[in-house]
Amino acid sequence: MLKFIFRLLLIGCLTTGMVSAANDPFVGKWKVTQGKNKLIDEMKVEPAGANRYQLTLGPGQIDTIVADGSDQPALGGTTFSITVKGPNSWTVVRKQSSRTLLSADWTLSADGKTLTDVFTGYQPDGSALRQRLVYQRTAGSAGFLGTWDTDSEQFESVLELQIQPYQGDGLSINDPEAQMTSNMKFDGSDYPNVGPNVPPGYMSSGRRVNERRLEIAHTYKGKIFDTQRIELSTDLKTLTLSRLSAGESNPKEVLVFDRE
């Protein structure tokens, strides 16, 4: 779930020829194509004491939380809570500065082999993004404790990406779902991301591989968090975004957008 806070689409240094804002093919408004997306996600829930759990949501993304329903310090300056509603039902909530970023209902199947995550992310204007993930147990034998994997994702809300020119050869990339905007020049420098949910220390740099492909590295407090590949189709009508977590060679998230 932390990926919905830190999903950044950022541009860095230029290694090929300059591209002017007037004819930059990435500029435009993009909408996700239903049925063409892939999310391979894994999370682990491990015991960390009496009624206390360690949740690993991705490489280096670990929260340790007492399941008593209270807001507790968590990743990226947020708070996190776990409310146990029953042996097969949890509600988890992440906040920042008392504002709810996301809430999710986790439900176990009767045989304990499937975990359904019904997730809602909230934007500052009150609008919501809803998703439904279904995880399969790959380790553990009882309750929520164990390792859970999913390779399916259903979007109940429209995902959009807005890219505009920025200071000549740069790009301004707005991801409404993540509530983040990055204003980037291709000069090899790290640039901070802006938005109500962006924690201090999130930076980006990248390169333009060719006229239709960008590669971006994201860092948090000096450490690489992930890299993204953004590629256009030959007719410039489709944009594919692939995300690789730090230390991984294959993308776990692939989103396909159509030009609006």
Q: Is there a single domain that holds both residue 51 and residue 83?
A: yes
Q: Is there a single domain that holds both residue 240 and residue 229?
A: yes
Domain that holds residue 13: 3-38+157-259
Q: Is there a single domain that holds both residue 57 and residue 102?
A: yes
Question: What is the pLDDT at residue 6?
Answer: 38
Residues contacting 7, CB < 8 A, separation 6+: 175, 177, 178, 180, 243
User: Sign of dihedral through CA atoms 142, 148, 154, 158?
Assistant: positive
3-state DSSP helix/strand/coil % of the chain, to nearest 5: 5, 55, 40
Q: Is there a single domain that holds both residue 82 and residue 143?
A: yes
How many whole angstroms from its chain centre is CA 66?
Answer: 24
Q: Is there a single domain that holds both residue 143 and residue 164?
A: no
Location of structure tokens 């989103």: 255
Question: What is the pLDDT at residue 4?
Answer: 40
Question: What is the pLDDT at residue 52?
Answer: 96
Domain count, the chain: 2
Which of 150, 167, 194 is the C-terminal boundary of a domain?
150
Question: What is the pLDDT at residue 45?
Answer: 96
Q: Is there a single domain that holds both residue 70 and residue 132?
A: yes
Question: What is the pLDDT at residue 209?
Answer: 85
What 3-state class would DSSP assign to 106?
A: strand
Question: What is the pLDDT at residue 201?
Answer: 81
Question: What is the pLDDT at residue 3?
Answer: 43
Residues contacting 90, CB < 8 A, separation 6+: 67, 82, 83, 84, 105, 106, 144
Q: Is there a single domain that holds both residue 120 and residue 90?
A: yes
Question: What is the pLDDT at residue 59?
Answer: 66
Q: Is there a single domain that holds both residue 236 and residue 202?
A: yes
Question: What is the pLDDT at residue 64?
Answer: 97
Q: Is there a single domain that holds both residue 179 and residue 114?
A: no
Q: Is there a single domain that holds both residue 161 and residue 230?
A: yes
Q: Is there a single domain that holds both residue 33 and residue 60?
A: no
Over its length of 260 residues, how does the chain's per-residue pLDDT go in tens digits? 334 433 322 222 222 333 444 588 999 999 887 777 777 778 899 999 999 999 998 766 789 999 999 999 998 788 999 999 999 999 999 998 888 988 999 999 999 999 999 988 887 777 787 888 889 999 998 899 999 988 765 555 567 889 888 887 778 888 776 677 877 777 778 888 887 767 778 888 778 888 899 888 888 778 887 888 899 999 999 999 888 877 777 777 888 899 99
Q: Is there a single domain that holds both residue 85 and residue 21?
A: no
